[in-house]
């Protein structure tokens, strides 16, 4: 694969990560407006704001790498594979909720944990960030200015997981 092709693939991977973060921001924003508990609403809104910030950074980073137009949602399914469709299915389920009681939130937490944890955002984002760093190094793309921000995103993803555990604990009281 030619150097420009690898750089293009790197930009596509990053852009798709931005689309994923954007979708998750919508999920958390929707949940924040759908719950009645003000503290849980606040915590969901916090994650939504973080996810929007991540989405914007990934899209800008993709542009910097030369992607004038990012891939479509469907193309991101090819980039990410089956995990993409799993995440999008869960996201659409959560976006379909309009009013959510505290009892319903308890059952949704497992979907959110799966969305944030094992299936999608947390580990895949972290894995992709690490992969991006390796690919950039191989291609002699200098990401030193972005590396610290990428590390902040990893920290944020870990915080999201802890916030969901906090919500779970609040609901059990």
The pLDDT of 8-35, averaged and rounded, is 88
Bigger pLDDT: 26 or 158?
26
Task: Note down the domain range covering 124.
Answer: 3-172
Structural domains of the chain, count = 1
Q: By percentage, how much of the chain surpasses pLDDT 70?
A: 85
Question: Residue range 41-49: average pLDDT?
Answer: 96
For the cut 90, the answer to whether the pLDDT of residue 46 exceeds it is yes
Residue 31 contacts residue 94 (beta carbons within 8 Å):
yes
Measured from the Cβ of residue 55, the count of other Cβ atoms closer than 10 Å reads: 21
Q: The tokens 């849980």 sit on which residue?
A: 40
pTM of the model: 0.82
- Identify which of 90, 28, 33 has the alpha carbon closest to the alpha carbon of residue 54: 28
Q: What is the pLDDT of residues 72-95, one digit of tens each?
A: 888 888 877 777 777 788 788 888
CA 128, distance to chain mean position in Å, is 11
Is the Cβ–Cβ distance between 20 and 121 less than 8 Å? yes
Q: Interhelix angle for 73-80 vs 3-34, to 10°?
A: 110
CB atoms within 10 A of CB 88: 18
pLDDT for the residue numbered 137: 73
DSSP 118: T
pLDDT (0 to 100) of residue 118: 41
Q: Across residues 27-46, what is the average pLDDT? A: 92
Residues of the chain with pLDDT > 90: what percent? 18
Q: What is the CATH number of the domain that holds 78?
A: 1.20.1260
| Mean pLDDT for the stretch of residues 116-129 | 55
Over the chain, what is the mean pLDDT? 80
């Amino acid at each position: 694969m030619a150097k420009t092709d690898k750089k293009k693939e790197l930009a596509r991977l990053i852009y798709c990560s931005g689309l994923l973060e954007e979708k998750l921001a919508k999920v958390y924003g929707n949940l924040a407006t759908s719950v009645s508990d003000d503290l849980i609403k606040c915590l969901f809104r916090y994650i939504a704001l973080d996810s929007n910030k991540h989405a914007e950074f990934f899209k800008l980073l993709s542009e910097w790498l030369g992607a004038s137009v990012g891939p479509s949602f469907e193309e991101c399914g090819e980039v990410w594979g089956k995990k993409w469709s799993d995440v999008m299915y869960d996201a659409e389920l959560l976006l379909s909720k309009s009013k959510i009681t505290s009892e319903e939130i308890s059952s949704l937490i497992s979907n959110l944990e799966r969305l944030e944890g094992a299936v999608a955002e947390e580990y895949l984002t972290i894995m992709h960030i690490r992969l991006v760093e390796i690919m950039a190094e191989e291609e002699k793309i200098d990401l030193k200015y972005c590396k610290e921000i990428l590390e902040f995103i990893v920290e944020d993803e870990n915080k999201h997981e802890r916030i969901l555990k906090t919500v779970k604990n609040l609901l059990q009281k």
